[in-house]
A and B are shown apart, each in its own frame.
Chain A
Amino acid sequence: METETDETVAGRVQRGDSEAFGMLVERYEAKLMRYARKFLRDPDDAKDIVQEVFIKSYENIQSFDATRRFSPWIYRIAHNEFVNAIKKRARGPVLGLDFDVVFPHLTAGETADDTALERDTKNILEECLDELDPKYREPLVLYYFEGLSYKDMADVLRIPMSTVGVRLARGKHMLQKVAAKKNLYE
């Protein structure tokens, strides 16, 4: 039997089939928990936030455009919740304007890392996550752990695609520096 797409299920929820929302919860709970754990080390905090994400997505399901993909939509809600959680914990002021999004960037298009490189990056990322600025941590997490494309990441983070490329490149560069400091390279 053909599995219904997330978009079809979301469409059913919009038409009043609230039980169908359970399918979306089943499909996304583990992913969003994994995403949350990259930002909030405390598993209870992560669980609370993921619960809040599902509540908000149910409350606002009528704002979802079923002709677009569901995954970036729910990740966007999750991103907003994590940002709010980080702001609450931040010691200093959080900058309003991000200069990465002001100027156009000329970057290479999206290319897939080879499998070994990707595996190495993921392992190093796990070890070094806490030491990365959330601005660069999040694109790395979304790309390497959640498998989102540049296009989807642009929709989740509400930034230009070229800025996604720049942040990934800078994030990888920072990761290398942190990993070298921790002697993680063999």
Chain B
Amino acid sequence: MDAIHSGRVRMRPRWKFVLSGALAGLGAIILLFTLLFIASFAIFTLRQSGALFVPVFGMRGLFAFFAALPLILIVLLVLFVVVLEVLVRRYRVGYRTPLLVSVVAILLIVVLGGYAIERTRIHEELSQQARGPGGLPAPFQMMYGPGAQRVPDIYHGTIVAMIPGGFLLADENGAGTTTILIDPSTRLPLGDGFGTGDQVVVFGEESSGTVHAIGVREISPADQ
């Protein structure tokens, strides 16, 4: 009490705690929105490149899907989830919940929220702007510009002509026109009812300008 009476010990003003709480809360909100954006962009990248659809082509398709995962985005996601978890632990709802449960809850919110945002087509519009005359500011041009979502061995495009044994594919991601050949071993999970004008995803290795398709899947309007 002597220290208090002499003024050696003083109360910190309330506004400091209010400001600290508000900044932490704001930081958590900004972080959450950043996470949602990153997650939605990762899903867009997978959809745009066609990688989202290749797991149906068996184990090779599954490996190609994992190889196509945008690693930098995933590392950023994990990092930001950790920081968000640290911020949330300041509050009762955070520390009263087992760590695994709160991390899973954050990941679920981020993945589901990211999927919902990706379905709003905001990334689709930014991608079209990036291919337009004006383009986008530098970092976004890199993210959305032509070829940005190109993944090896996965071809996402529109059939421009049917040919004997296959078709010609105009690539969505700016890689020009590719000859796709189908044989009896080609997996067709939704059947072979595709034709000129249809959007498809082709999985296969390119050799001398021709792709021998391991799998072909038609992309419906609902998938886009």
Contact = CB atoms under 8 A, between A and B. Distances in A.
Nearest to A162: B98
A173 interface: no
B11 A103 contact: no
Interface stretch (A55-63, A78-86, A112-120): A55-63
A5 to B, nearest CB: 20
B140 interface: no
Contacts of A101: 98-99
B222 interface: no
Interface in B69-127: 89, 92, 95-101
B13 interface: yes
A155 B101 contact: no
Interface residues on A, range: 20 to 34
A38 to B, nearest CB: 23
Nearest to B94: A158
Interface in A25-68: 25, 55, 58-63
B4 to A, nearest CB: 5
Given A21-B1, A21-B4, A22-B1, A59 B96 contact: no
Contacts of B9: 55, 58-59
B25 to A, nearest CB: 15
A21 B2 CA distance: 12
Contacts of A161: 96
A101 B101 CA distance: 10
A154 B99 CA distance: 14
Contacts of A63: 12, 17
A45 to B, nearest CB: 19
A102 interface: yes
Contacts of B10: 59
Interface residues of B, number: 21
Contacts, number: 54
B3 interface: yes
B11 A61 contact: yes
A18 interface: yes
A62 B20 CA distance: 12
Contacts of B14: 14, 62
B100 A103 contact: yes
Contacts of B16: 62
A104 interface: yes
Contacts of B98: 101-105, 160, 162-163
Nearest to A100: B98
Contact of B13 (A55, A62, A154, A163): A62
A100 to B, nearest CB: 9
Interface in B138-167: none
A124 interface: no
Given A21-B1, A158-B89, A59 B99 contact: no
Interface in B4-40: 4-5, 9-14, 16-17
Given A62-B11, A155-B92, A55 B99 contact: no
Given A21-B1, A58-B4, A104-B100, A159 B95 contact: yes
Contacts of A154: 95-96
A13 B1 CA distance: 13
A109 B198 CA distance: 61
Q: Which 3 A-B pairs have the closest CB atoms?
A: A62-B14, A158-B95, A63-B17
Interface of A: 13-14, 18, 21-22, 25, 55, 58-63, 101-105, 154-155, 158-163
12 contacts: A22-B1, A25-B1, A55-B3, A59-B11, A60-B12, A101-B98, A103-B98, A103-B100, A104-B101, A158-B95, A160-B98, A162-B98
Given A103-B98, A160-B96, 11 more contacts: A21-B1, A22-B1, A55-B3, A59-B10, A63-B17, A102-B98, A102-B100, A160-B95, A161-B96, A162-B98, A163-B98
